[in-house]
Amino acid sequence: MPHPLSVVKLPVSLFVYLIVNIASAQVYNSSISAATGGTGRAAVEAGDASFLNPSSLVHLRGHYLFSSFAKDEFAVTLSDNSEESFLPASLGYVQKKMDVSQGQLEQSDITLSLAEFAVDKLAFGITGHYFEQKLPQSSYRQINADLGFLYTPQPHIGWALVVYNAFGEKEDVPENLRLKTSVGGGFNYIYQNTVRFRLDATSESIYMGGIETYINKFMITRLGYQNDTDHKRELITAGLGFKGPRFALNYAYQGNPQISGDYRHSVDLEIPF
């Protein structure tokens, strides 16, 4: 008969493995993206443009201040696509703390995103990253860039393709801390301005789907699902949003149905001005 603790050791060890090998490699998700399974590469959201697909900046109008809060995570962006701006642009900052095999990691990411229409209905964007990663005994700096495309044949349809960390991997950085080159794609469909369907996938074998439904003029419900087939990690996601004329608030929950300790809560504030 197996020792009683052996039943606990397996999920705990799997959880530690996931945190060490997955957490530092993921792109940052706003609460809207997180609540819909991590999707959003083909959507237009002020909180996701700097992190998921910079080309979506061309469809934002005006100025946006965005901030996001989760356990050991903080993000803030300032976006501008007003008539006075030379190019749609966004400046962002993300700070994270997490446990990795080398100890506690403190990671910051400063981003600058620019976008423009390449041709009619096809937008192109680039996000530059300056990463700093601090460990108890060492630190690393990495510079890289994401390249994004967004094609909108109709106002309610979007197709996206994004290359993350297009400059390649830095060989002198430990493998679990490197910015890995990957490709992501997305599809977005809005039905009669009341329901939005999202589908995304990445070259890292992560598949995502989500749906948003407007309860009324201001309230939005969100549901989603994500499956990382390489690491056999599934997430069930849900969220609630308020989109008013002066500000927007969004909440998201992500949870692994197989591991009770693998979950994330986040809250976002978005202010157009």
CB 197 within 8 A of CB 175: no
Tell me: pLDDT of 16 over 50. Answer: no
Beta bridge partners of 130: 110, 143
Distance from the Cα of residue 207 to its chain's centroid: 14
Indicate the CATH number for domain 6-272: 2.40.160.60
Model confidence over 217-238: pLDDT tens digits? Answer: 899 999 999 999 999 999 999 9
- At residue 64, the 3 state secondary structure works out as strand
What is the rounded average pLDDT of the residues 133-141? 94
% pLDDT > 70, the chain: 90
User: Could you tell me the residue ranges of all domains in the chain?
Assistant: 6-272
pLDDT of residue 85: 87
- The mean pLDDT value of the chain amounts to 90
Could you read off the pLDDT of 146-164 as tens digits, one per residue? Answer: 999 999 999 999 999 999 9
pLDDT at 254: 97
Whether pLDDT at 3 is above 70: no
pLDDT tens, residue by residue, 98-116: 999 889 999 999 999 999 9
Q: So what's the pLDDT on residue 14?
A: 46
Euclidean distance between CA atoms 209 and 197, whole angstroms: 8
Q: What is the pLDDT of residues 57-93, one digit of tens each?
A: 999 999 999 999 999 999 999 999 998 888 999 999 9
The angle subtended at Cα 178 by Cα 228 and Cα 224, nearest 5°, is: 25
pLDDT at res. 26:
65
The yes-or-no verdict on residue 173 having pLDDT over 60 is yes
Instruction: Give the pLDDT score at 24.
Output: 46
Q: Tell me how far apart the alpha carbons of residues 43 and 25 are, in angstroms, rounded to a whole number.
A: 22
Distance of CA 210 to the CA centre of its chain: 14
Return the pLDDT at 83: 87
Of the pLDDT bands very low, low, confident and very high (cuts 50, 70, 90), residue 50 is very high
73-81/89-100 β-pairing = antiparallel
The single-letter DSSP state of residue 138 is: -
